[in-house]
Amino acid sequence: MPGNLTFTDLKSKVADGSIDTVLACIVDMQGRLMGKRFTGSHFAASAWEETHCCNYLLATDLEMETPEGYAATSWRAGYGDYMMKPDLATLRLVPWLAGTAMVLCDLRDHHDQGDIEHSPRAILKRQIARAQALGLTPMMATELEFFLFQGDYNALRNSGYRDLKPYSPYNLDYNMLATTKEEHVMRPIRNHLVAAGVPVENSKGEAEAGQEELNIRYAEALDCADNHVIAKQAIKEIAWQQGVSATFLPKWRDDAVGSAAHVHLSLWAGKDPAFYDKDGAHGMSSTMRAFCAGMLKYAADVTVFLAPYVNSYKRFAKGTFAPTKIAWSVDNRTAGFRLCGEGSKAVRMECRIPGSDMNPYLAEAALLAAGLKGIEERLSLGDPVGGDLYDDTTVPEIPRSLAAATERLRASTMLREAFGDWTVDHYTRAAEVEQEAFDAAITDWEIARGFEKA
């Protein structure tokens, strides 16, 4: 169930005063929630039908700057409005904020009511529709890895992010004593999200000091992405309420393990798992093999949507549980794609390439586009690889920089067919903007290395 509050229930709660605020949210290019806080009475009276926002929200960078070079909008075009159309099926309580409900909105053109082509939710919906046309329903789950740090966001920002101290001083991986010390943060995260309709299964310590993982039950692809962005928002807000900071930056220091957002994928035909064949090798059906072959063939094309920033590529490092190679394996965490649930109806493929900074709508859509192309092309899947892939020179590498991944995106015929030229050009420009900002920056490393010695 995507939401847990009907519009009728909302109106009743507004009338009795138990809800006084409704968050109307869109998802921006970076996978963040943007929008407006409505009084409950105004939302129930009229804003539930539509509201508006500036179209620059889909043409900014992480700093909310307004870079040049987007065809969608610009200073010359005047930065007009998009319509925000509430998807009332996503209406839910926000238990960590008093008297508050939330609804996710689709972005529409004010004049013809059509979807904004390059909006993340619309991009994913189009790929889901492609699967549905084949009689298939994409099912997905994402893992959220993040770090908790001592001090709130304001304190860390004011310090220039110097001398950062993870909340736990040592590796937390599965450690019950260490994670008990963080339960004042993690327990409300789990419980509030469940109360908000997000089906959290568990949390656990991850493989680095201060690192946590939250796991959400698999769902249909759109619900999965919605759950992901709501959970990410909740984690940051609840951490702030508890006086600590949560970061989804994939790599915060060079000698620490990074944070991922692994995506588990399968397809269903009605109530039956279309990826399962009891007689197939590893329990894999021919549909699964072709889909996975497509993901492998086009992995480099879609990498920008799995690793969208300069920092994303610092995570791909030997011996860190982050993959560096485009290959599939049977339960081997050194591969970019790992078969899980071998031989069972739960058989699925885990893509281990995405970092914690991914936009889940774009990542899911890109992986779906690649897999569906594999089905269309009737691709054959090679044998799984084994051993330590970090040192296997026979296996192709994941693009090792944002610049390299951007060129693969720009040249991708597959994505231009699946997403459209307009959308590919839009997100190519977004990647260029990120690279240009980094290239213009003077880093601490450069100063320390060359101040005296150069």
What is the CB neighbour count within 10 angstroms for residue 233?
Answer: 17
Domains in the chain, CATH or no CATH each:
7-116 (3.10.20.70), 128-445 (3.30.590.10)
For the chain, the average pLDDT equals 95
Region 257-272 average pLDDT: 96
Which of 426, 299, 288, 311 shows the shortest CA–CA distance to 357?
311
- 386 Cβ neighbours under 8 A, 6+ residues apart: 329, 330, 332
Average pLDDT estimate for 273-284 = 96
Q: How confident is the model at residue 361 (pLDDT cuts 50, 70, 90)?
A: very high
What is residue 386's predicted lDDT score, i.e. its pLDDT? 87
| 192 token code pair | 């509030």
pLDDT digits (tens, 9 = 90+) for 203-229: 999 989 999 999 999 999 999 999 999
Average pLDDT over residues 361-374: 98
Question: pLDDT tens across 25-53, in order?
Answer: 999 999 999 999 999 999 999 999 999 99
Beta-carbon contacts of 94 under 8 Å, excluding residues fewer than 6 positions away, are: 23, 100, 101, 102, 196
What's the whole-number mean pLDDT along residues 234-252? 97
Average pLDDT score over residue span 376-396: 92
pTM of the model: 0.96
Check whether 169 has a pLDDT greater than 90: no
Q: Does residue 1 surpass a pLDDT of 70? A: no
Q: Where are the extended beta strands (E) located within 217-347? A: 219-220, 244-247, 263-269, 272-273, 328-330, 337-340
Percentage of the residues of the chain whose pLDDT score is greater than 70? 100
Instruction: State the DSSP H helix or E strand holding residue 296, giving kind and residue range, or none if neither.
Output: helix 286-297
Q: What are phi and psi of 100, to 5 degrees?
A: -125, 140
Task: Give pLDDT, residue 388.
Answer: 86
Cβ(106)–Cβ(222) under 8 Å?
Answer: no
Q: What whole-number distance in Å separates Cα of residue 232 and Cα of residue 227?
A: 9
pLDDT at 16 over 70: yes
pLDDT digits (tens, 9 = 90+) for 410-430: 999 999 999 999 999 999 999
What is the structure's pLDDT at 437? 95
Nearest Cα to 80, choosing from 60, 104, 52, 38? 52
Which residues face 340 on adjacent strands?
348
**What pLDDT does 371 receive?**
98
Q: Are 281 and 383 in contact (CB under 8 A)?
A: no
Q: What is the mean pLDDT of residues 98-114?
A: 92
pLDDT of residue 408: 98
